[in-house]
């Protein structure tokens, strides 16, 4: 329960906000410049929000929540979001 | 409007009368581990605790010095903003008053900071007068890393995200500076009895 | 280059339970009818949402076990003793019940279409579920992609997906039993590490696509073994189970 899952598990929640599947989208970390598909980032799903971290530097790249406080998305840790493949 | 699922109640319990804040449930004997990142494993010979920021003089304790401070037993209820509460938890730790007793400051707030980069903000008054501790023991044993060991902040009268795991110090500030969850729309104060979960509650 | 198709946001659909049957002593296979199912890729998952009378909700993700070629959607759910959702799905849920479901989700951990490279699937316990969809899809489309499955399971009685894993010429399944091997078993036993991967997985030289699914600790141990053997990290995809308050 303390371990991370894969960012793939964040694709459903993000579909509450985005019209395309972000599982295969590339995220570029604002802290170190490392990049990779959203689905392959470590995801910490158990806290007050889902926290996605950089594979390289472990800094936060994205936070997402949908609860009584509203839908909230923090991408201050993502410098660039690139949709590279045909999304479903 | 969500469809009600036939036969589904969840596993929620209501707990002892009068001790469950609104919107919470009793988690019973479980102690959920909520993490926003990898669990830091700081070696005790590298550990220190600092009081800095708007202070007359920065103060610090290494692990040995921290252990020499008077520890006390604490039994309190804790309330997580994700809706679980846990009753009669037993901790061992040092009152924050002890760490601040000789500090000269005009600060009214503080930011607790932790290994792994976590931060949370509190009014200074909320960690004084026996309302907050730096705890290094749980249920008679050293505090496990997954629960915030070697030491965490314990501020039981506020939602548990204020009780920063892996805490390494307090930065005293003149203005309230939002921490990790507060910047993400969680309440700047977080009183569970007023159900202050989100900014504006 | 193809443009990005905007599909519209995913919404919760009401699914009807068609059948719920025990797959193993701990897992149930649940078949749903979904009037507005848009179709899925083998390997995708769904989110399931349960709502109590007072509005309390609990939500979990489950891999789809059925291939895109069949109209109904199947999940295989493992009962976790201290869970909140899986005991309900495996114990209380029955035919004709209605349940909210959202999907399909995730175009990442999916069967690699249009590839000449072999595919190596590596499953731990109920992590085999997305691979059941992939193997049924491979069979139904008569795909020529060579595929191997390495399946780590506690004992013979806990094998999930016997119908999909039944022997056929174009499928190579290796089991390893981590707790109790069947009588007379001469195949591998114990957890999957570098040695077992070297002996039973597609060799590095064939540049396989590798998909790994199982509990977090399993996925991490297998990933380490694959990297130590020299597999290309860019060709390894992982899906960890657990979290969300329930651990497999």
Ranges assigned E (strand) in C83-145: 98-105, 119-124
Query: Using an 8 Å Cβ cutoff, are A72 and A32 in contact?
Result: no
| B83 reaches A (C-beta below 8 A) | no
Question: How many C-alpha atoms does A46 have within 13 Å on its Cβ side?
Answer: 21
Phi-psi region of C245 (alpha: psi -120 to 50; beta: other; left: phi over 0): left
3-class secondary-structure state, position A14? helix
Q: Tens digits of per-residue pLDDT, C230-245? A: 999 999 999 998 643 3
CB atoms B146 and A2 under 8 Å? yes
The alpha-carbon gap from C115 to the nearest alpha carbon of chain B, in Å, equals: 36
Query: Using an 8 Å Cβ cutoff, are C127 and C241 in contact?
Result: yes
**Token couple for C42:** 């083998």
By Cβ distance, the residue of B33, B81, B198 closest to A1 is B33
Chain C residues close to B9, C-beta within 8 Å: 52-53
| Res. C83 pLDDT band, cuts 50 70 90 | confident
Query: Using an 8 Å Cβ cutoff, are A77 and A60 in contact?
Result: yes
Q: What sections of A3-88 are H helices per DSSP?
A: 11-14
The average confidence (pLDDT) of chain B is 96
| B81 reaches A (C-beta below 8 A) | yes
Query: Using an 8 Å Cβ cutoff, are B159 and B166 in contact?
Result: no
Question: How large a percentage of chain C has pLDDT more than 90?
Answer: 82
| Res. C2 pLDDT band, cuts 50 70 90 | very low
Mean pLDDT, residues B49-58 taken together: 98
The alpha-carbon gap from A33 to the nearest alpha carbon of chain C, in Å, equals: 18
Q: Tens digits of per-residue pLDDT, C125-183? A: 999 999 999 999 999 998 888 999 999 999 999 999 999 999 988 899 999 999 999 99
> Which residues have CB under 8 Å from C113's CB, separation 6+?
none
CB atoms B34 and A46 under 8 Å? yes
CB atoms A23 and C242 under 8 Å? no
| B184 reaches A (C-beta below 8 A) | yes
Tell me: pLDDT of B17 over 90: no
Q: How high is the pLDDT of residue C244?
A: 38
Kind and range of the H or E run holding B26: strand B25-26
C32 beta partners: C17, C73
Radius of gyration of chain B (CA): 17
| A82 reaches B (C-beta below 8 A) | no
Tell me: pLDDT of B98 over 60: yes
Q: Which chains touch A (3 or more CB pairs under 8 A)?
A: B, C
Query: Using an 8 Å Cβ cutoff, are C183 and C159 in contact?
Result: no
Residue in C24, C7, C38, C53 with CA at minimum distance from that of residue C101: C38
Q: How high is the pLDDT of residue C150?
A: 98
State the Cα–Cα distance between residues C193 and C174, nearest whole angstrom: 14
State the Cα–Cα distance between residues B149 and B92, nearest whole angstrom: 12
By Cβ distance, the residue of A2, A48, A68 closest to B181 is A48
| Res. C247 pLDDT band, cuts 50 70 90 | very low
State the Cα–Cα distance between residues B85 and B83, nearest whole angstrom: 7
Chain C residues close to A13, C-beta within 8 Å: 47
State the Cα–Cα distance between residues A36 and C4, nearest whole angstrom: 19
Residue in B101, B112, B125, B110 with CA at minimum distance from that of residue B172: B110
Residue B66 has φ and ψ, to the nearest 5°, of: -65, -40
3-class secondary-structure state, position A38? helix
By Cβ distance, the residue of C58, C82, C97 closest to B10 is C58
By Cβ distance, the residue of C84, C99, C245 closest to B5 is C99
Kind and range of the H or E run holding C213: strand C209-215
Chain C residues close to B5, C-beta within 8 Å: 50-52, 88, 97-100
- Residue written as token pair 């399993």: C218
CB atoms A86 and C217 under 8 Å? no
Tell me: pLDDT of A1 over 70: no
Query: Using an 8 Å Cβ cutoff, are C84 and C246 in contact?
Result: yes
3-class secondary-structure state, position B30? coil
CB atoms C57 and B2 under 8 Å? yes
How does strand B167-173 pair with strand B48-53? parallel
Cβ count within 10 A of residue C205 = 7
**Token couple for B92:** 């061992």
Q: How high is the pLDDT of residue C142?
A: 85
CB atoms A1 and B39 under 8 Å? no
Residue in C99, C62, C109 with CA at minimum distance from that of residue C244: C62
| Chain C residues touching chain A at CB-CB below 8 Å | 2-10, 41, 45-47, 61, 102-109, 216-217, 220, 237-245, 247
Query: Using an 8 Å Cβ cutoff, are C101 and C15 in contact?
Result: yes
Q: Tens digits of per-residue pLDDT, A6-16? A: 999 999 999 99
By Cβ distance, the residue of A1, A17, A20 closest to C243 is A1
State the Cα–Cα distance between residues C108 and C111, nearest whole angstrom: 9
> Which residues have CB under 8 Å from C45's CB, separation 6+?
A8, A9, A12, C61, C62, C63, C64, C103, C104, C105, C106, C109, C130
The answer, yes or no, to whether the previous bond of C104 is cis (omega within 30 of 0) is: yes
State the Cα–Cα distance between residues C210 and C206, nearest whole angstrom: 11
CB atoms C14 and B7 under 8 Å? no
Chain C residues close to A18, C-beta within 8 Å: 9
For C85, name the nearest residue in chain B, comparing CA atoms only: B10
State the Cα–Cα distance between residues C23 and C85, nearest whole angstrom: 18
Tell me: pLDDT of C114 over 90: no
Query: Using an 8 Å Cβ cutoff, are B24 and B14 in contact?
Result: no
Q: How high is the pLDDT of residue C81?
A: 84
The alpha-carbon gap from C9 to the nearest alpha carbon of chain A, in Å, equals: 4
Q: Tens digits of per-residue pLDDT, B72-84? A: 999 999 999 999 9
State the Cα–Cα distance between residues B157 and C173, nearest whole angstrom: 56
Q: How high is the pLDDT of residue B2?
A: 81
Chain A residues close to B161, C-beta within 8 Å: 48
Tell me what ipTM this predicted complex has.
Answer: 0.92
State the Cα–Cα distance between residues C124 and C145, nearest whole angstrom: 22
Question: How large a percentage of chain C has pLDDT more than 70?
Answer: 94
Q: Tens digits of per-residue pLDDT, A14-37? A: 999 998 899 999 999 999 999 999
Q: What sections of C79-186 are H helices per DSSP?
A: 86-87, 129-140, 162-165
Q: Tens digits of per-residue pLDDT, A31-86? A: 999 999 999 999 999 899 999 999 999 999 999 999 999 999 999 999 999 997 65
Ranges assigned E (strand) in chain B: 25-26, 48-53, 59-62, 72-79, 84-95, 109-114, 119-123, 133-138, 141-142, 152-154, 167-173
The average confidence (pLDDT) of chain C is 92
State the Cα–Cα distance between residues B114 and B181, nearest whole angstrom: 13
């Amino acid at each position: 329960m303390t371990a991370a899952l894969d960012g793939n598990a964040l694709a459903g929640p993000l579909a509450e906000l985005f019209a395309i599947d972000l599982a295969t989208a590339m995220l570029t970390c604002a802290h170190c410049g490392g990049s990779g598909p959203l689905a392959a980032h470590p995801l910490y799903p158990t806290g007050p929000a889902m926290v996605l971290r950089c594979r390289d530097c472990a800094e936060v790249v994205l936070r997402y929540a949908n609860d009584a406080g509203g839908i909230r998305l923090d991408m201050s840790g993502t410098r660039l979001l690139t949709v590279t493949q045909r999304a479903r | 409007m969500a469809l009600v699922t036939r036969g589904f109640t969840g596993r929620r319990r209501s707990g002892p009368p009068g001790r469950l804040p609104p919107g919470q449930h009793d988690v019973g004997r479980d102690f959920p581990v909520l993490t926003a990142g990898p669990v830091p494993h700081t070696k005790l010979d590298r550990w220190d605790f600092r009081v800095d920021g708007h202070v007359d003089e920065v103060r610090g304790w290494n692990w040995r010095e921290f252990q020499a401070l008077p520890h006390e037993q604490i039994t309190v209820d804790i309330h997580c903003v994700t809706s679980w509460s846990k009753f009669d938890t037993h901790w061992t730790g040092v009152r924050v008053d002890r760490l601040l007793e000789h500090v000269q400051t005009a600060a009214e707030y503080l930011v607790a900071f932790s290994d792994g980069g976590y931060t949370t903000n509190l009014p200074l008054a909320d960690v004084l007068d026996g309302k907050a501790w730096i705890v290094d023991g749980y249920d008679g044993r050293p505090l496990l890393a997954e629960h915030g060991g070697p030491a965490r902040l314990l501020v039981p009268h506020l939602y548990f995200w204020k009780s920063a795991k892996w805490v390494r110090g307090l930065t005293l500030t003149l203005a309230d500076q939002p921490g990790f969850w507060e910047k993400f729309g969680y309440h700047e104060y977080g009183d569970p009895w007023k159900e202050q979960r989100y900014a504006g509650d | 280059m193809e443009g990005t198709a905007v599909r519209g946001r995913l919404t919760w659909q009401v699914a009807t339970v068609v059948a719920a049957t025990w797959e193993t002593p701990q897992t149930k296979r649940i078949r749903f009818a979904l009037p507005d199912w848009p179709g899925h890729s083998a390997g995708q998952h769904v989110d399931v949402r349960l709502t109590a009378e007072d509005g309390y909700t609990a939500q979990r993700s489950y891999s789809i076990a059925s291939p895109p070629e069949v109209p109904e959607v199947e999940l295989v759910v493992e009962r976790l003793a201290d869970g909140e959702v899986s005991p309900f799905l495996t114990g209380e849920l029955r035919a004709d019940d209605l349940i909210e479901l959202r999907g399909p989700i995730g175009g990442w951990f999916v069967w690699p279409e249009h590839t000449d490279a072999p595919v190596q699937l590596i499953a731990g316990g109920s992590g085999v579920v997305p691979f059941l969809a992939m193997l049924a899809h491979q069979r139904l489309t008569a795909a020529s992609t060579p595929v191997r499955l390495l399946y780590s399971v506690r004992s013979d009685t806990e094998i999930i997906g016997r119908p999909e894993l039944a022997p056929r010429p174009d499928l190579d399944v290796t089991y390893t039993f981590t707790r109790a091997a069947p009588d007379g078993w001469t195949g591998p036993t114990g957890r999957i590490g570098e040695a077992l991967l070297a002996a039973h997985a597609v060799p590095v030289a064939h540049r396989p696509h590798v998909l790994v699914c199982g509990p977090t600790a399993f996925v991490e141990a297998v990933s380490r073994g694959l990297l130590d053997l020299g597999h290309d990290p860019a060709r390894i995809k992982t899906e960890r189970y657990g979290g969300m308050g329930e651990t497999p």
